[in-house]
Amino acid sequence: MQITDIEVIPLSYRLPEGCGLGDARGFGYDRETTLIRLDTDAGHIGWGEAFVPGRLARATIESFFADEIVGFDPHDVESLADRFTTDPYHFGRGIAVQSALSAVDIACWDLIGKDLDHPVYRLLGGVEREELRPYASTMYFTEQDRSLAEPIERAVSEGFTAAKIKIGGGTESDVKRVRVAREVLGDDALLMVDMNGNYRPAQAARTANAIAEYDIAWIEEPVPPENESGYQEVKRRVDVPIAAGEAHYGRFAFKRLIDDYGVDIVQPNLARCGGLTEARRIGTIATTENVRICPHVWNSAVGLAAAVQFAASTSEYPHTRNRPEPRLLEFDRSENPLRSELLEDPLDPTGGVLKVPQKPGLGIDVDEVAVERYRDD
């Protein structure tokens, strides 16, 4: 099987005025990402995602990758990173190169699965889980004065038994948000908090201690992603698991997160970290050190599907079948048609269980009419 064509498809969706999505760092209006479509001489079509705006993905792919992709056999996917990082050597392994690589890698795995008639998770090592426990990413900061409880109440009514909320706007606000979330979720649900790197270590520790009574499963990005000494200080001062990884790219960065930052949970985004191949390597590094791996997912439906396949294949621990923690998968609950409208059969997290698609490849059928609706060349 050889790739005969590559198409780069920028997608965007702008939220209505007054409905910006907020975290501790501020508000955003634009959901932007990039799909790629690979055609092959076998008739199969492969889909991948680079979780960066189209103008960045297109420039990177056309500059470094496009010429060599035509004629490439997707079954040689393990050699992709070595093959295609030869030219952009001096551009390093930052977000542009790793995201472009992710898109091609995911599309290759989709093609391999379709060629061999297997879902990707089985090709990645086999059945670890056929069901995942989705957690709702919700309770964003809002521009308008809205009910704090409403998004969590909605998640509970949809059947979620785990949720992650945005905090990081000051300890008093943090405590209020966490208290409301815990009251609505009840005692048995998992509750995670995301500071989006908005604090210094002492601020993060102050909030962590103030919310400790609400049984927090993890604190995400307490300090900025590049602040290695800050992570180390938070780890010394806080007795709650620390998660990070959505702003780290490639296995070398994740090795540092584990060895030097000391995080307890790593969160590679499949459409930024280097794709399924690199995520598997990151998973091996993580589980070797008994660190959990929980993909970050804020992608389109294609990147989400890749995360599902990856999560289904990866073991939590190297040593036991008696698992004290569920295999979690992040499921954003904010308005985003790029997640909810691009598939013929959208992935459904309601009811507290996400069934892993069993069809070949990523297990999805992309609705190309919907793709055109949000295309933004």
Residues that bind Mg ion (CB under 5 A): 194, 220
Rg, Å, the chain Cα set: 20
CB of 130 to Mg ion, least distance (A): 27
Describe the strand order of the beta sheet including 30-40 as a list of residue ranges: 3-14, 30-40, 45-50
- Categorise residue 14: left if φ over 0, alpha if ψ from -120 to 50, beta otherwise: beta
CB of 170 to Mg ion, least distance (A): 18
CB-nearest residue to Mg ion: 194
Choice between 174 and 194, CB closer to Mg ion: 194
Which helix (H) or strand (E) segment is 39 a member of?
Answer: strand 30-40
- Catalytic residues, which ones? 296
Choice between 84 and 254, CB closer to Mg ion: 254
Q: Are 70 and 107 in contact (CB under 8 A)?
A: no
CB of 351 to Mg ion, least distance (A): 24
DSSP state of 85: T
Q: How far apart are CA 281 and CA 279, in angstroms?
A: 5
Choice between 220 and 332, CB closer to Mg ion: 220
Choice between 198 and 300, CB closer to Mg ion: 198
Q: Which two tokens stand for residue 45?
A: 């079509």
Q: Are 354 and 308 in contact (CB under 8 A)?
A: yes
Adjacent-strand bridge partners of 334: none
CB of 357 to Mg ion, least distance (A): 25
Q: Which two tokens stand for residue 80?
A: 């992709």
Choice between 121 and 140, CB closer to Mg ion: 140
CB of 68 to Mg ion, least distance (A): 34
The four Cα atoms 250, 254, 255, 258 give a dihedral, to 10 degrees, of 180
CB of 62 to Mg ion, least distance (A): 30
Residue that has been written with the tokens 């995520």 in this structure: 279
End-to-end CA distance of the chain: 29
Phi, psi of 159, rounded to the nearest 5 degrees: 100, 0
Residue that has been written with the tokens 């295309």 in this structure: 375
Adjacent-strand bridge partners of 30: 14
Choice between 165 and 189, CB closer to Mg ion: 165
Residue that has been written with the tokens 């909810």 in this structure: 340
**Side-chain-side CA neighbours of residue 47 (13 Å):** 22
Choice between 32 and 220, CB closer to Mg ion: 220
Q: Are 85 and 274 in contact (CB under 8 A)?
A: no
